[in-house]
Amino acid sequence: MKVLSKGLIFAVAVATTAWLTSIAFATGGTTVSAAPVSTYAPGTAIPRHLAGTFKLAAAAQSQTAAQTPATPQMSDAVFKNVQVLKGIPVDQFMGTMGVFTTSLSLCCGNCHTGAGTSNPKWEDDPPRKRTARAMVTMVQNINKNSFGGRQVVTCWTCHRGQLAPSVTPPLDFAYGEAVVNPPDILARDQNATKTVDQIFDKFIEAEGGAAKVNALTSYTAKGKSLLFGEVGDGNPSEMFAKSTGQVATFVHQQEGDVVRAFDGTTGWWQLPLTVTPQYPLTSTLAEGAKFDAVMAFPWKIRTYFPNWRVSFGQTIDGDDVDVVQGQTTTGLIGTLYFSKKTGLLKRYIRYANTVVGRIPTQVDYSDYRDVAGVKMPFKYSYAWVSERDDWTFTAYEPNVTIDGAKFGRPDPKTAGEVAGRKAK
Ligand code: HEC
Ligand code: HEC
């Protein structure tokens, strides 16, 4: 109740407005109204317009962070005017918004009345939003009627970052430089000169060897992280990881903490000052959080997929890379890119499913240095449809004891209210 009763108005700081999907909202002096339809934990920064739809769950109040079960919040229960994206959890719903914005190069405010101001009306139906809704149905019908229900046509298929899809192939395209848009699912390179095992073996050797990597069972790392669109050298940031499959990252922004956490069972996202500042992850988004946790000790990913395959080599920033990809039966896809020169990991991309298309998450590594005999990246960039943060680590602390609560549900008090911040 803290935030709701304080009467503070937060608007997204100027510095962060360039976030692709950041949205300003107001948490105001409203009280939680009657007839709540969903539950939410106390203290969470709930946008004014959503306040009436949340009930402060009595049960949640007595739970510690680590014990909080991840009961998915469903779109129709949490939002007011959902007509085509019904019956999906909030994480996937917000993922679809991210797919819209990235596919059409739009901001939330291009479809939503007042998004980016202190008085958003997400439930309003301006013309472009109505068009988008009709497009969702159209795309579902195309996939159903022409492709046997496979999700092969998405918003990106036609729009490619434009409001009005291009109709005619430009001749500069025919005779100019090739623009490569690799597919998500990569073809196996039948003539690959290396096997999956050889690529992983070389990687582990480059990392410092099996003995060294196996001796690293936990670490914390500190540094700065610059959110996309911000200026300056970034916000203080921390990462915590255990080789038993837990990871948590915290970017301490002025407005609150950007958090990604996975405790071995449940994954959480927190993006302060957004319409749904904190939510648990479901299905392939949750699997993705688990994948990220394993990738904190990337030599352990070898056993993640039983079906790794070697695809065609690519070039990233002028560096030739070996590419391996694997996939779970539920649809999580993971692609790893190893530098041919150093054998070290340069990038991974993983994909999660939504009803309108896949959400990519891309992590890039560089500036490897020695930590307890293991090569660890001192630069790390984490990007997905809602934000990107670019990390510069100053120090790693290997093999430390980490409080398990770090990996659990983020403290809702950090989701938008920061001590010392002046009320406006
Ligand atoms: C291309 C247009 C488009 C863009 C861009 C877009 N949305 Fe939406 N949004 C929609 C549509 C369409 C719906 C309604 C979906 C339905 O009826 O099932 C919707 C619904 C919502 C709702 C539920 C509102 C309610 O209470 O009913 C929220 C919240 C929301 N969007 C947030 C966002 C955020 C945050 C962004 C930026 C990341 C965003 N949207 C970007 C088209 C868009
Ligand atoms: C089969 C191709 C195709 C796909 C797939 C597609 N669109 Fe479109 N979309 C179009 C075309 C063509 C137009 C322009 C229509 C016109 O000019 O009347 C358009 C227009 C729009 C507009 C209106 C743009 C404006 O000028 O305001 C929105 C919004 C939109 N699409 C959203 C989406 C979303 C969201 C998806 C994915 C759910 C999607 N589209 C998928 C073809 C497509």
> Nearest 5°: CA angle at 349, between 312 and 162?
95
Residue 328 CA, ligand 1 centroid: distance in Å: 29
Ligand nearest to the CA of 131: 2
In DSSP notation, 243-297 reads TTTEEEEEEEETTEEEEEEE-SS-EEEE-TTSSS-EEE--HHHHHHHHHHHHHTS
3-state SS, residue 202: helix
Per-residue pLDDT, 70: 62
Residue with tokens 């937060």: 10
Residue 159 CB–ligand 1 contact under 6 Å: no
Residue ranges covered by each domain of the chain: 7-159, 196-415
Distance, CA 39 to ligand 1 centroid (Å)? 21
The CA-atom distances, in angstroms, between 366 and each of 104, 126, 210, 226, 319 are: 30, 44, 21, 16, 12
Atom 3 of ligand 2: nearest residue by CA position: 158
| The predicted structure's pLDDT at residue 89 | 95
**Looking at ligand 1, which atom is closest to the CA of residue 276?**
29
| Tokens representing residue 77 in the block | 């229960």
Contact 185, 327 (CB under 8 A): yes
Distance (Å) from CA 198 to ligand 1 centroid: 46
The pTM for the full model equals 0.84
Q: Which ligand is nearest to the CA of 129?
A: 1
Mutate to test the pocket of ligand 1, among 121, 129, 131, 385 (most ligand atoms within 8 A of CB): 129
Helix, strand, coil shares of the chain as percentages rounded to 5? 30, 30, 45
pLDDT in tens, the chain (424 residues): 222 222 222 222 222 222 333 332 322 222 222 222 233 322 223 232 332 222 222 223 223 333 444 678 899 999 999 999 999 999 999 999 999 999 999 999 999 999 988 889 999 999 999 999 999 999 999 999 999 999 999 999 999 999 999 999 889 888 988 777 889 999 999 999 999 999 999 999 999 999 999 999 999 999 999 999 888 889 999 999 999 999 999 999 988 999 999 999 999 999 988 888 899 999 999 999 999 999 999 999 999 999 999 999 999 999 999 999 999 988 899 999 999 999 999 999 999 999 999 999 999 999 999 999 999 999 999 999 988 999 999 999 999 999 999 999 999 889 874 333 332 2
Cα torsion 98, 99, 100, 105: sign: positive
Residues 6+ apart with CB under 8 A from 356: 85, 96, 99, 100, 136, 139, 154, 155
Going from the Cα of 353 to the center of ligand 2, the distance in angstroms, rounded, reads: 20
Q: Is the CB of 111 under 6 A from ligand 1?
A: yes
| Cβ-contact 405, 261 below 8 angstroms | no
Class of domain 196-415: mainly beta
- Give the pLDDT score at 315: 94
Among the bound ligands, the one closest to the CA of 139? 2
Q: What is the pLDDT of residue 52?
A: 29
